[in-house]
Amino acid sequence: MPSETWKTNGAEAYLQTAKISVLISNLTVGPTLNDMDLVLHRYDFRAYDNRAVSEAGEEAFPVFIFDPSWLENDLVSDQRIEFVLESLKDLNRQYTELGTHLTLVHGDPEEKLEKLSKDHSIFFNRDPNHFQQKREKILREKYRDFSQSPATENIERQAWKERISEYFSSRPHSPGEKLSRPPVSSEVSIDRIREKYEIESDKEKFGRGGRDEALNRLEEFNDRIGQYSGCISSPSKAEASTSHLSPYIRYGCISAREVYQEAEEKKYEVENVQSVQMFLDRIVWQKHFQRKIEANSKLFREAINPVYRGLNKENFDEEKVEAWKKGETGYPLVDASMRALRETGWLNFRMRAMCASFFSYILKQWWKIGADHFYKHLIDADVAINYYQWQMQSGLIGVHANRIYDPTKQVEDNDPDGKFIRKYLPELRPVPDQYIAEPWKMPEKVQEECGVRIGRNYPEPILDYSKEAKKARKFFKKKAPEAYAAFEDDKLWKKASLSSRHDREDILEKAGAPQSDLERFT
Q: Per-residue confidence at 204, pLDDT binned at 50, 70, 90?
A: confident
pLDDT score for 176: 87
Q: Per-residue confidence at 34, pLDDT binned at 50, 70, 90?
A: low
For the segment 144-149, the average pLDDT, to the nearest whole number, is 87
For the segment 51-76, the average pLDDT, to the nearest whole number, is 95
pLDDT score for 2: 35
In the chain, the amino acid numbered 216 is N
Which homologous superfamily does the CATH classification assign to the domain defined by 306-521? DNA Cyclobutane Dipyrimidine Photolyase, subunit A, domain 3 (1.10.579.10)
- Of 162-166, 259-263, 279-283, 286-290, which range is least confident? 286-290
For the segment 140-169, the average pLDDT, to the nearest whole number, is 85
Instruction: Please answer whether residues 268 and 225 qualify as being in contact, where contact means their C-beta atoms are separated by less than 8 angstroms.
Output: no
Fold of 211-295: 1.25.40
Q: Classify residue 355 by burial, with Cβ atoms within 10 Å: 0-12, 13-18, 19+.
A: buried
pLDDT score for 519: 52
Instruction: Please answer whether residues 134 and 265 qualify as being in contact, where contact means their C-beta atoms are separated by less than 8 angstroms.
Output: no
Q: pLDDT at residue 5 above 60?
A: no
Q: Of the candidates 392, 403, 423, which has an alpha carbon nearest to the alpha carbon of residue 362? A: 403
Distance between CA 137 and CA 141 in Å, rounded?
Answer: 6
Q: pLDDT at residue 278 above 80?
A: yes
Q: pLDDT at residue 522 above 80?
A: no
Count of alpha carbons within 13 Å of 140, Cβ hemisphere only? 14
Q: Per-residue confidence at 23, pLDDT binned at 50, 70, 90?
A: very low
pLDDT score for 15: 34
In the chain, the amino acid numbered 341 is L
For the segment 470-498, the average pLDDT, to the nearest whole number, is 92
- Of 112-126, 127-141, 398-412, 461-475, which range is least confident? 127-141
CATH number at 11-196: 3.40.50.620
Q: pLDDT at residue 517 above 80?
A: no
Q: pLDDT at residue 288 above 70?
A: yes
Domain boundaries, the chain: 11-196, 211-295, 306-521
Output the average pLDDT for the chain.
89
Distance between CA 47 and CA 52 in Å, rounded?
Answer: 9
DSSP bridge pairs for 105 = 65
Distance between CA 287 and CA 127 in Å, rounded?
Answer: 12
pLDDT digits (tens, 9 = 90+) for 155-181: 777 788 888 999 999 999 999 888 989
Q: Of the candidates 274, 253, 320, which has an alpha carbon nearest to the alpha carbon of residue 93? A: 253
* More confident: 41 or 180: 41
DSSP annotation string for 482-497: HHHHGGGSHHHHHHHT
